[in-house]
Amino acid sequence: MPANRPAIPRELDRKVRVEAGHRCAIPHCRMPLIEIAHIQPWAKVKCHEFENLIALCPTCHTLFDRGDIDRKSVLHYKARLSPFSPYALAEHPDHIDLLVAYQKFRVSIAMWLDAARAFTVAKQQGAGADEGRRIFRAAGDAAMEASHARLYLAAESPPLVAKAADQIMNAAVWGTCTTMGRPVPGEFLHLKPATDALPALWANLEHEVHEVLNAPAWKKVKLMPQRPYYVDELDEGQRQGSDSRSPNR
Ligand SMILES: [Zn+2]
């Protein structure tokens, strides 16, 4: 590593590892010992960016550096890791419901934003009243579809994913209302997102989905509705003569 090259920030490093489930991203390798590789070489990009980083085992990393695995293939493997990729369904059969809900949410938000833009363009181009009404209705339908998709995703996912989806929903409400020149509904008024917040919010949601897909077995326990009681905690409660039903006090 050249002396003037900064280390990859810890959080970014972790995110790249989580994306690949702490295994080599080459599908038929999947070695659990990994390094972080730059898809476009560091010497060219001079920065560490999530989209340009991938987890590879030392062997695959060497093959990639030598050109035995070419850049286009590695880009393909990177795309494969995305929960939005059709490959994700085959790779995570335990999470098909979550992945389908996530993909549906993603598509329906994109269609909603498109419909809002189409409405504005039609207005600017002086579309007739009928055409204007048709496009306005289409945007309304798209909003409804997105709202259903959010509920579906919330039902299929743990709270952190649902929360990340809510933030996107809020940004999309603000985005479409602003685009279409409509008032923002009251319940969203106090939640004004930063300008152009959506890319970061999508990255956050994708990260949370990855966390679920790649959660180690011990972490899945947290998804249980109620934390199991531990014997020593119950003993502690009884010794203090307190209510043993609230061991967390
Ligand atoms: Zn490998």
114: Cβ–Cβ under 8 A, 6 or more apart, which residues? 142
Ligand 1: centre distance to CA 103 (Å): 28
Strand partners, 144: none
In tens digits, what is the pLDDT along the chain, a chain of 249 residues? 556 789 999 989 998 998 898 999 998 899 999 999 999 999 999 999 998 999 999 999 999 999 999 999 999 999 888 877 777 787 788 888 999 999 999 999 999 999 999 999 988 888 788 888 899 999 999 999 999 999 999 998 999 999 999 999 999 999 999 989 889 988 888 888 888 899 999 989 988 998 888 776 555 444 444 444 444 444 455 555 444 454 444
How far is it, in rounded angstroms, from Cα 243 to Cα 226? 17
Can you state the percent helix, strand and coil of the chain, rounding each to 5? 65, 5, 30
Each domain of the chain, given as residue ranges in start order, spans 10-81, 92-214
pTM for this one?
0.68
Query: Which helix (H) or strand (E) segment is 177 a member of?
Result: helix 159-180
For residue 188, what is the DSSP state? G
Ligand 1: centre distance to CA 220 (Å): 26
Ligand 1: centre distance to CA 60 (Å): 4
The SS3 of residue 226 is: coil
